[in-house]
């Protein structure tokens, strides 16, 4: 694999930078405070399965495209019905819980550190409106935040990753895609982006066959690795210049 030279870092958001299930769990407890933990987990799984299934249908052209906030409203209605709640206002509130999600403990400081060296781009399946609320609630700071809604599809469609390539004005191999989901990184890799896996409790771990450029336990570890890579690259260029 060629030397890792990065001009900008592209981040998945849901799961990688924020704990999306935690936000939905909080919404479910607000929907019905009597729900015990096992029931909350059942309803959370129902929500996630609906979102995943409907996004796959859209990717397969079995359903017209809808942005993520519309899918969240569908999931909220489905889950509320399963919980025996028929209050329309409560359903609306539940649908918004997917935007009120906490960042992982290392996220805000990690982004700030990385932003000192690289332009940072958020690239999310969340709709434009949802992404705005997600960023504000979690305190995420970007140089650019891109929604899959701009491509009217969802990751892992290549058109979503192309958004980052087009907006950045960089070659794909000069962009580093960071995600806690191996499927996300594989799709970015197919378009030519470099890849970094960051471990999260809710992520999709790499398979033994995956070959990503970097692996880190958190954003601090990722920043450390990028510092070392930059130092090696700068050292090599300095040596070459001296030799001339």
* The pLDDT value given to residue 2: 66
Residue 128 — φ and ψ, nearest 5°?
-60, -45
* The pLDDT value given to residue 40: 98
Of residues 195 and 2, more confidence is placed in 195
What percent of the chain is modeled with pLDDT above 90? 91
**pLDDT at 241 exceeding the cut of 90:** no
* The pLDDT value given to residue 230: 79
**pLDDT at 239 exceeding the cut of 70:** no
Contact 128, 122 (CB under 8 A): no
Average pLDDT, the chain: 94
* The pLDDT value given to residue 235: 56
Residue 67 — φ and ψ, nearest 5°?
-70, 165
Q: How far is the C-alpha of 86 from the C-alpha of 204, rounded, in Å?
A: 34
SS3 sequence, the chain? CCCCCCCEEEECCECCCECHHHHHHHHHHHHCCCCCHHHHHHHHHHHHHHHHHHHHHHHCCCCCCCCHHHHHHHHHHHHHHHHCCCCHHHHHHHHHHHHCCCECCCHHHHHHHHHCCCCEEEEECCCHHHHHHHHHHHCCCCCEEEEHHHHCCCCCCHHHHHHHHHHHCCCHHHEEEEECEHHHHHHHHHCCCEEEEECCCCCECCCCCCCCCEEECCHHHHHHHHHHHHHHHHHHHHHHHHHC
Domains of the chain are 8-18+101-243 (3.40.50.1000), 21-99 (1.10.150)
Of residues 202 and 1, more confidence is placed in 202
Q: How does 43-56 read in b/e, with b if 16+ C-beta sit within 10 Å? A: bbebbeebbeebbe
pLDDT tens by residue, 64-104: 999 999 999 999 999 999 999 999 999 999 999 999 999 99
**pLDDT at 242 exceeding the cut of 50:** no
pLDDT tens by residue, 127-183: 999 999 999 999 999 999 999 999 999 999 999 999 999 999 999 999 999 999 999
What mean pLDDT do residues 111-140 have?
97
Name the pTM for this structure. Answer: 0.92
* The pLDDT value given to residue 215: 98
pLDDT tens by residue, 29-66: 999 999 999 999 999 999 999 999 999 999 999 999 99
Q: How buried is 60 (Cβ within 10 angstroms: 0-12 exposed, 13-18 middle, 19+ buried)?
A: exposed
Q: How does 207-244 read in b/e, with b if 16+ C-beta sit within 10 Å? A: eeeeebbbebebbebbbebbeebeeeeeeeeeeeeeee
What mean pLDDT do residues 116-137 have?
97
* The pLDDT value given to residue 233: 61
């Amino acid at each position: 694999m060629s030397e890792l030279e990065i001009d900008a870092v592209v981040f998945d958001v849901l799961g990688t930078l924020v704990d999306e299930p935690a936000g939905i769990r909080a919404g479910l407890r607000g929907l019905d405070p009597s729900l015990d933990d096992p029931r909350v987990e059942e309803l959370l799984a129902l929500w996630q399965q609906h979102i995943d299934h409907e996004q796959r249908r859209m990717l397969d052209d079995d359903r017209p495209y809808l942005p993520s906030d519309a899918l969240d409203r569908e999931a909220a209605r489905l889950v509320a019905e399963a919980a025996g709640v028929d209050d329309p206002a409560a359903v609306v509130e539940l649908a918004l819980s997917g935007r009120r999600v906490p960042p992982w403990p290392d996220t805000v400081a990690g982004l700030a550190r990385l932003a000192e060296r690289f332009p940072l781009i958020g690239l999310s399946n969340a709709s434009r409106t949802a992404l705005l609320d997600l960023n504000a609630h979690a305190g995420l700071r970007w140089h650019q935040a891109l929604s899959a809604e701009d491509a009217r599809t969802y990751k892992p469609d290549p058109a979503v990753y192309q958004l980052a390539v087009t907006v950045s004005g960089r070659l794909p191999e000069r962009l580093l895609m960071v995600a806690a989901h191996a499927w996300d990184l594989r799709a970015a890799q197919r378009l030519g982006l470099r890849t970094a896996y960051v471990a999260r409790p809710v992520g999709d771990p790499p398979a033994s066959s995956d070959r990503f450029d970097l692996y880190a336990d958190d954003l601090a570890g990722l920043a450390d690795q990028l510092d070392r890579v930059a130092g090696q690259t700068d050292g090599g260029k300095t040596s070459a210049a001296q030799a001339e």
